[in-house]
Amino acid sequence: MNILNFGSLNIDLVYQVEHIAQPGETISSLAHQVFAGGKGANQSAALARAGASVFHAGQVGPDGQWLVDKLAGLGVNVQHIRIGDVPTGHAIIQVDHHGQNSIVLFAGANAQIDRGAIDAALSHFDRGDILLLQNEINDISYIITSATERGLTICLNPAPFDPEVRAYPLELVDLLIVNETEAAGLAGASDPAALASLCPRAQIVLTLGAAGAQYHSPTEEFHIPASQVEAVDTTGAGDTFIGYFLQGLTADMAARDAMARAVKAAALCVTRPGAMDSIPAADEID
Ligand code: ADP
């Protein structure tokens, strides 16, 4: 069983600043760092670190080869990532002394994926394989519909949430993973039953930050509390959780066991700064 993650690849440009630039103001940054990012790439990295067989599909520009190399170095299969002419998606992130941030996103190549590339990637996957999607690339509805026709299991993490998500073919989703913001955007509340009415055939996982995570399916319902840790940086917690949870399910773990392991992995992630680089390896969890 293979996992195809069709998702974003971003370059995160982080600037340390005294204060976040005000309208009309020009400021100098105190330090600058460049990181691999994008929810899609982070979740592929988490899947690989958890031990899954994961193929990433998506698109970068000529400036994005290093992102592809980085994912490959983590064990992600990158044969379905296209390198086109449109620049790689990026985020300009200002971070002040209090850890407050301000982010400008440029979707770039992530929003220019054509149907030829989608069809080509999907043609390598079949019944029994899993498709994972976030909400940082274009044409999500088409990808869900086409993958369903091929018999793939659809896992959707509609992050970052925007109202367009409500128009996706949610009735085709088999596994929905949302945090409280996404749950509120989709269903008006952090309520698994309300989410289930939108995705009637789905297993639903609601992540609750420091309160852990909640599972709901037509046959089972349970909550797993988060591990008590000193949180340093919660960036990447959800992505780590998703990677470990999905890997657990593909390794035939019961949902409860997969979720307990995902909660442990996400707790370890929040004790470290960074996003992709803070995702723990499987041997640190087990
Ligand atoms: P996202 O990162 O998408 O906003 P959450 O904040 O819900 O998602 O976090 C995802 C998971 O990470 C949670 O279900 C929990 O297991 C873990 N987690 C997040 N914040 C903490 C924390 N402060 N302490 C321990 N675990 C945490």
Which residue among 85, 96, 129, 239 is the active-site one? 239
In this structure, is residue 22 part of a structural domain? no
Domain count, the chain: 1
Q: Hey, how many other C-beta atoms are within 10 angstroms of the C-beta on 281?
A: 14
Contact status, residue 113 vs residue 139, Cβ threshold 8 Å: yes
Determine whether 277 is an active site residue.
no
Global confidence as pTM: 0.96
In this structure, is residue 215 part of a structural domain? yes
Instruction: Choose one of 234, 264, 271 to mutate for the ligand 1 pocket test, by most ligand atoms within 8 angstroms of C-beta.
Output: 234
pLDDT of residue 209: 96
pLDDT of residue 41: 98
In this structure, is residue 20 part of a structural domain? no
In this structure, is residue 212 part of a structural domain? yes
In this structure, is residue 13 part of a structural domain? no
Report the distance separating Cα 266 and Cα 24, nearest Å.
Answer: 39
In this structure, is residue 14 part of a structural domain? no
Instruction: Choose one of 134, 136, 179 to mutate for the ligand 1 pocket test, by most ligand atoms within 8 angstroms of C-beta.
Output: 179
In this structure, is residue 18 part of a structural domain? no
pLDDT of residue 137: 98
pLDDT of residue 76: 98
Residue 160, preceding peptide bond in cis (omega within 30° of 0): yes
> Domain of 138: which CATH number?
3.40.1190.20
Q: pLDDT tens digits for the chain (286 residues)?
A: 899 999 999 999 999 999 999 999 999 999 999 999 999 999 999 999 999 999 999 999 999 999 999 999 999 999 999 999 999 999 999 999 888 899 999 999 999 999 999 999 999 999 999 999 999 999 999 999 999 999 999 999 999 999 999 999 999 999 999 999 999 999 999 999 999 999 999 999 999 999 999 999 999 999 999 999 999 889 999 999 999 999 999 999 999 999 999 999 999 999 998 889 999 999 999 8
In this structure, is residue 178 part of a structural domain? yes
Ligand 1 site residues, Cβ closer than 6 angstroms: 179, 207-210, 212-213, 226-227, 229, 231, 234, 237-238, 241, 263, 266-267, 270
Contacts by 276-279 with C-beta closer than 8 Å and gap 24+? 276/35, 276/36, 276/37, 276/41, 276/42, 276/45, 276/70, 276/236, 277/35, 278/233, 278/235, 278/236, 278/240, 279/42, 279/45, 279/46, 279/49, 279/236, 279/239, 279/240, 279/243
Question: Distance from the CA of 169 to the center of ligand 1, in angstroms?
Answer: 27
Print the domain residue range for 214: 3-7+37-83+108-285
